[in-house]
Amino acid sequence: MYKAHISEDKTRSQSVVQHLQGTQKLAGEFAAAFDCREWGDGCGLLHDIGKYSASFKRRIDEGGPITDHATAGAKELYNRGNVFGAYCISGHHSGLLDGGTVGDSAGEATLMGRMKKRLDDYSAFQHEVEIPAFPAPLLKPLGKGGFSAAFFVRMLFSSLVDADYLDTEEFMKEGKTGREPAEPMDILLQRLKQYVAAWLENTDLTTINGRRSRILQACFDKGQAAQGLYQLTVPTGGGKTISSLAFALQHAIRHHLQHIIYVIPYTNIIEQTSQIFRHILGDINVLEDHCNVSYDSPEELKIKQLAAENWDCPVVVTTNVQFFESLFSNRTSKCRKLHNIAKSVIIFDEAQMLPASYLKPCTRVITELVTNYHCTTVLCTATQPSLEAFFPQQLRPVEICPDIQGQYAFFKRTAFQMIGELTEEALVERLNTHGQILCILNSRKRVQSVYKALKGDGTYHLSTFMYPIHRKNLLKKIKTCLENGQNCRVIATSLVEAGVDLDFKMVYRELAGIDSVIQAGGRCNREGKEKPEESRTVVFTLEESEDIHIPGQLKLPITVAGQIARKFEDISSLEAIHEYFERLYHFRGNGLDAQNIVDQFEQASRSMLFPFATVAEQFHLIENETKAILIDKEMRAQEIVESLRNGAHSLQLLREAGQYCVNVYQNDFENLNGAGLLEALDEQIYVLRDRKLYSDEMGLLVNVSRGEAVFA
């Protein structure tokens, strides 16, 4: 019996050592991407030495209580002055902790509290594991150094937790993880070059394709340049999606980079971009990572789900929300992917949509990635914001697009006309004189009101209160009407301004931010079939009404846009756009870091007591939380509802359910739920009990000013 116990202990010890060494190897490889292999090695080797304690042995042998095995390695490093490693190891299960204060009591959920916690004797680790040396990290501290230090902790933490997950997965599945290797970057570049070869033969700058080819060739050429911060300012119609991919692939090969990451504000743009990339590069090489993505088969789901956990894919297409909230998260599941951002080309498509309330922390992240993590970033947009002031002097963006002024003049498709204030009745009268026209308004309630006044054959309403599949089908119908020359008057919110391929001869746009107005103009004469002066984007304000609420985040952009309109004859000129963003950022002032996130980390530069958990709670790009209401009018939606009622909760099912959901703000949700109109399917999704509250014409019927249901 005694010999048997010795054998079991030896086997367990070997298993622990194998896991430590396996995690060490992977974490070291991941951290090597930012020149800190020894840090990954060390954290991987020490992360589970708490498993050498008697209490952990009882947990395994006798099913005893859960025991803390994460604090031991953290203590060993903390006592040697290695606070960074202590953060990573102490949080490798529960998430990065706040540093706390020196007065925190033992066991409190902070690093200081954990370092005071009494642990069972785990000293047996010393017979098998030697604590390694940790050389000074080869990183350039920016500013006061606090933000840089905290960012390094996150990247190191990511290397550790992903290595821990992967080594455990390899053991549990006996190497059969289901992960499939993607193809190398040079193969992807070859495919892209084959795809565009015929395009590049057209060098006639008097043609649209010739102009696009010049921009595309410039991107291939600039891809050979040094790593750094770039901007690609391409007017609507200039082909920036393919051109930016050309730069990214060429640049990745030139500098031996691992990934290309597209960061995009809207899911509808993501879906289109991903589809284009998959068509050119192959499905296995492109990961589409956002809340609404769904897959065609369980096999595809499995492969992509595994890749989504840590962005282990050559080309990743994701959202602003996913990208930045992961970089400020403290949770292991969200942080796993971060180390794979190192050594990447990162394209910020529609860069003007970087959230103003978090602009300083977001640009600080970009600066860190370029300066310390071998990343090249590209700010890609048709309306380049004035972001130079948010980057250090030595990191000024380099323009990729040749002859920007000439390109803008050539691709100009519409003339912007300011007509001042209109009453709602006068607007309706104007819209009625056109057979095909798009009108974009700032208030959902105003959209509904104008639509009802216009209502008739060929008049359509578009709103985020329609579930995604409904919107897609309606957009197809609208596009067909336009192509066939039929009457088509569309009244919509701003959802049609980006990623929606519609082409109207005339667009009416209620005054909003200059970038939004120009995006609206991108739906006017999109194919260039008419002369710009004959295809107008008419900009107006609407007479104020007590029952119309303009969202607070729109008020300052509207005010600044009004100032620009009074100063510049052409609000779409590069000079007008530049001054608009300069004024907007100036007036926002401290509002560009609404939660004071950068300063919270900078102030901890001496103590190294960083507020990781606190900031993770504060950093939300979408400030107002929404609830998903599933509309089960279609057969597939009804099947999904039944599956959810019966307890099925797979990731694929939830993502597919999102295609039939309308997201509403809390006040609307509470009113609907309080009236007994919703049934909870789980914590995330509710189903609308009364289908009559959803109209094929107008979507979910909610009085958005009071949040009361409107019964049809």
* Exposure class string for 424-447: b at 16+ Cβ within 10 A, else e: beebbebbeebebbbbbbbbbbbb
Q: Which amino acid is at 232?
A: L
State the helix-helix crossing angle for 37-46 and 146-172, rounded to 10 degrees: 60
Q: Which residues of 253-279 are buried (b: 16+ CB within 10 A; e: fewer)?
A: bebebbbbbbbbbbbbbbbbbbebbbe
Cα of first residue to Cα of last residue in the chain, in angstroms, is 78
- For residue 77, which of 47, 51, 41 has the smallest C-alpha distance? 47
| H-helix or E-strand spanning residue 280 | helix 267-281
Cβ-in-10-Å burial (0-12, 13-18, 19+) of 298 comes to: exposed
Query: CATH 3.40.50.300: which residues of the chain?
Result: 185-408, 413-571
Q: Which class would CATH give 3-173?
A: mainly alpha
Instruction: Give start-end residues of each CATH 1.10.3210 domain in the chain.
Output: 3-173
Taking the C-alpha atoms of residue 417 and residue 539, their distance in angstroms, rounded to an integer, is 6
Tokens of 428: 């309706």
Residue of 650, 641, 647 whose CA lies nearest to 686: 641
Instruction: State the virtual CA torsion across 321, 322, 324, 327 in degrees, nearest 10.
Output: 150
The model's pLDDT over 546-593, given as tens digits with 9 standing for 90+, comes to 667 777 778 899 999 999 999 999 999 989 999 999 999 989 888 899
Number of alpha carbons in the 13 Å side-chain half-sphere of residue 346: 28
CB contact burial 541-560 (16+ within 10 A = b; e otherwise): bbeeeeebeeeeebebbbeb
Regions of the chain short of the pLDDT cut 70: 1-14, 60-65, 171-180, 268, 290-308, 499, 546-547, 623-624, 651, 703-712
Query: Which distant-in-sequence residues (6+ apart) come within 8 Å of 460 by Cβ?
Result: 474, 477, 478, 488, 489, 490, 491
Q: How much is the pLDDT for 683?
A: 76
Per-residue pLDDT of 171-221, as tens digits, reads 666 555 445 678 999 999 999 999 999 999 999 999 989 999 999 999 999
CATH topology of domain 413-571: Rossmann fold (3.40.50)
pTM of the full structure: 0.88
* CB neighbourhood size of 394 (10 A): 9
Distance (Å, whole) CA 119 – CA 90: 13
SS3 content of the chain, % helix, strand, coil (to 5): 50, 15, 35
User: Mapping DSSP to helix (H, G, I), strand (E, B) and coil, where does residue 100 land?
Assistant: coil
Element (H, E) at 196: helix 185-200
Homologous superfamily (CATH) for 185-408: P-loop containing nucleotide triphosphate hydrolases (3.40.50.300)
CA distance 113 to 116: 5
SS (H, E, C) 604-617: CCCCCCCEHHHHHH
